[in-house]
Structure 1
Amino acid sequence: MKNKSHLLTLFLFCLSIIGNVNILSAQSEATPFTEIKGKVVDSKNKSPLAFADLVINNSNVSTITNSDGEFILKIPNTSSKDVLVISRLGYEKKEVSISSLTNGIKIKLEQAITQLSEVEIDTYKNAKTLVLETLKKKSSLYNNDKTLMTAFYRETIKKRRRNASLSEAVVQIHKSPYNSYKRDGIELIKSRKNTDYSRLDTIAMKLQGGPFSNLYTDIIKYREFIFTAEDMDLYNFSFGEATQINNNMVYVVNFKQKENITTPLYFGKLFIDSKTLALTSAAYSLNVENKELSSQMYIRKKPRKVDVYPTETKYMVNYRTQNGKWHYAYSNISLTFKVNWKGKLFNSVYTLNSEMAITDWEINNTKFAKVKENIIRPTTILIDKTSGFSDPEFWGEYNIIEPEKSIESAIKKIQKQLKRT
């Protein structure tokens, strides 16, 4: 069985202080777009709906709601007569005319009621067989052209509930065909950061891999990071209650490692379109019961007097279809670690979150340059790479995922707390 540590690697080291980098927010006076802020909620209980897809019809412009159901969508002026399509797993698709959108709009989605026919129930009695069939579909159902994707990436590190580091970047993904074994390439276009570790702790935590970590959650393209051929027999697969997405019936397959397996493996749910057998989304976690082994999968470097181990891990990936082909659209990774200093009474808890959303894409069969100053590699640490790529005026032109709190307000809150202490 292969080591899964390359899916997301945590890099730790000792340091005394890292200074602040101020972030300015500015927008060009003449903007070729209109910015709309809003929220997507359940029509009955009014609860916010996280990770809902918002796509302008007949275009590649899109965004995704955050954990509070909020979104910011920057709509090109040329799309003023188009339609915004809102969809989410388990809910009926909704279409809203762009001209009717107003700031602060609350979009309500109706829950989808799914009833399986006897034919649909009997088609796949074995959940593992269904998963294997889905994994075989990458050459026929997924985009097999070289694609240039524009993506927004955010990386956040919190100590308990306090933000310690926030980084954002716009990247271009040189996505290789799904039927190719060639790895994808990522080019850093613009980035900004605001980091203040001083007085928060003498441990600095950094994510190694940056946008690659999220890209590798693409199970169809990078099956080997979670379901190697050898690993399939180490899992139990079972059917969950079916649901709907975009008015299509979706199989839900639960998976977890067998009880006699001690090596940390993943557990979660796969959502598979019943008609095409395409993987539409997945939500899964790593089994971290074995602290020592799970720690080895994430920790690359740490001080000798410190024990660091994960207490919770969450991964999510969404796919989108266009022109009859599926492609990677969004992923979110959340990792919680406990840091114990030997000889100290209290421990520290850190949460590292990274998310990446595709905001635009186009077929581009040109060759990807191998040597470029702004190419990101799987070993890149984003917050170290961002110097020289911060351009305040640039950030007005891209759809972003609205965070729970803005970078500016989060850092101000940290600074106020530091002054109090």
Structure 2
Amino acid sequence: MKSRLHLSIYCFLISCFSIQAQDFINIKGQVVDQETKEPLAFATINLAGRSRGAVSNFLGEFNFNISNSSENDTLIISMLGYKTYKLAINRIPNPSNLTITMLEDIVMLNELVVSDKELTAKEIVEKVIENIPNNYPTRPYLLNGFTRAHKMECDQYVSLYEANFDLYGRGYNSKSKVGYPEKIYLNEMRASNKVDQYMVQPLESNRNPFVALGHINDVLLKSFSLNISRNTYHLENYTTLNDRLVYVIITGKDHGPMRPNNRMYIDVDTYALIKVDYEIDTPEGEDWNPALYKGSTIGLTKDSLSFKVKRVAKSVQFEEQNGLYILKYTNWFMSGIIFNSESKEDLCDWGAQFEMMFSNVILDNVERPSKKRLLKPKGRTDPKVIPYNETFWKNYDLITEFPLNEQIEAGLSKEIDLETQFRERAKKGE
């Protein structure tokens, strides 16, 4: 995935950090295209027969730990459009320095015999909407999730937020308020102190990672890619996922000076939307500020500083479990440039990323969590702060498997270590 920005300064949920504990085998590396050698984002890396694993970041990097008892297991790397890669753990000479090369698996349209081959791309999308009650939970469900959100300005990380939470939904066929169709119940959280940088408007106004969740799920809201009245559709080709045939449909609509790149991946047999990748980049020589573009002056922050949005990207992935597709991973990423609105001089980059991974779904006899833990939506303000449970975070399996990137930790710990910051933020109740 290409970008004119130096993406290497941005660190994502699954990133490089070595664990010295003897109880684990560190599995770390990069997933690349076999022909082009370009990194592959959002590849799924896990062990055979297990649902938990890693998802490669925008640079194709992944990093997670497994127990020593798993040395006889098989590592499986799967990604839409590529042949599944399998490798025995005990045959890997250096599991902390892997390069996984994936072979493309694109099936041309004229090579297939598909029962509904005569359907147009729009008709396929209409069938996705029609089959939502068959493919997604229609009764109350409960998902446990982990989120990590971080922001950067001028090569300096300015904030970090992590939380373990429960997501309660009424079902995909229920009528819900757009924006907050699911309720968030906070279990544990921790946050760094805020670094006194510029804090341009996008970073100030997007403090709450759960707000992004409320707008990102196309299937639940029947929005974005599934907004038939506003989109155009084109069937690009077919691909496979775990040996199952998948439609690849390009979605487009007018975004003013921005040009969208939106792909939908739809199971041929079930018409389930299993993945959406959405990306918009500023064309060469153009700048885009969503606030100023609409004629507002909200983009102005401190003194004569303003911002440009250069890239917006999102990814939503579902995982099939017992015949239903369950939300597995979401990502929302923005980046741009801080500039002087008077001199028009570019100063430095800014970026923000919100990632969530879900596990432990409950679909039967679901009980709504206690209202005491309910996170009431407060627009874009900071989410609720609760006491810092150091013991929980020390033993939390996802933190063990997906340790915080050392660049983020070092960047935020220049004056005060992160553990002290977590305690201080909790005491302040900010």
Q: Secondary structure at the match of 2:175?
A: coil
Measure, in 1, the Cα distance between the counterparts of 2:216 and 2:402. 19
Measure, in 2, the Cα distance between the counterparts of 1:46 and 1:303. 41
**CA gap 1:113/1:148 in 2 versus in 1, 3 angstroms:** same
Q: Is 1:245 the counterpart of 2:241 in the alignment?
A: yes
Measure, in 1, the Cα distance between the counterparts of 2:292 and 2:98. 43
Measure, in 2, the Cα distance between the counterparts of 1:269 and 1:82. 33
Q: Is 1:409 the counterpart of 2:407 in the alignment?
A: no
Amino acid across the alignment from 1:189 = N
Q: Secondary structure at the match of 1:120?
A: coil
Measure, in 2, the Cα distance between the counterparts of 1:126 and 1:51. 28
1:8-407 alignment to 2 at 5 Å? 35-44=26-35, 46-75=37-66, 82-97=73-88, 102-116=95-109, 117=111, 119-120=113-114, 123-182=117-176, 183-200=181-198, 205-214=204-213, 216-224=215-223, 227-228=226-227, 232-257=228-253, 268-285=262-279, 291=289, 310-337=309-336, 343=342, 346=345, 349-369=349-369, 371-372=371-372, 374-379=373-378, 385-386=384-385, 388-389=387-388, 391=390, 394-399=393-398, 401=402, 405-407=406-408
Quote the offset at 1:281 in angstroms: 0.9
Quote the offset at 1:227 in angstroms: 3.8
The superposition leaves residues 44-68 of structure 1 with CA deviations (integer Å, 9 ceiling, x where unpaired) of: 5554322111233434323211223
TM-score, scaled relative to structure 2: 0.73
Amino acid across the alignment from 1:368 = R
Unaligned runs of 5+ residues in structure 1 are 1-24, 416-421
How many residues are matched?
A: 383
Q: Secondary structure at the match of 2:229?
A: helix
Q: Secondary structure at the match of 2:195?
A: coil
1:167–1:383 CA contact under 8 A, matched in 2: no
Amino acid across the alignment from 2:355 = E
User: Residue 422 of structure 2 aligns with which residue?
Assistant: none
Quote the offset at 1:133 in angstroms: 0.8
TM-score, scaled relative to structure 1: 0.74
Q: With a CA cutoff of 8 Å and minimum separation of 6, indicate the structure with the bigger relative contact order.
A: 1
Quote the offset at 1:379 in angstroms: 2.5
Deviates further, 41-50 or 122-131: 41-50
Unaligned runs of 5+ residues in structure 2 are 1-16, 417-430
The superposition leaves residues 22-50 of structure 1 with CA deviations (integer Å, 9 ceiling, x where unpaired) of: xxx9x9x997x755334333345554322
Measure, in 2, the Cα distance between the counterparts of 1:210 and 1:30. 34
Amino acid across the alignment from 1:353 = Q
2:142–2:366 CA contact under 8 A, matched in 1: no
The superposition leaves residues 310-357 of structure 1 with CA deviations (integer Å, 9 ceiling, x where unpaired) of: 343212111111222211111211123555565455355422211112
The superposition leaves residues 200-230 of structure 1 with CA deviations (integer Å, 9 ceiling, x where unpaired) of: 46866242441341353221112135644xx
Q: Secondary structure at the match of 2:124?
A: helix
Deviates further, 238-247 or 387-396: 387-396
Q: Secondary structure at the match of 1:284?
A: strand
Quote the offset at 1:139 in angstroms: 0.7
Q: Secondary structure at the match of 2:49?
A: coil
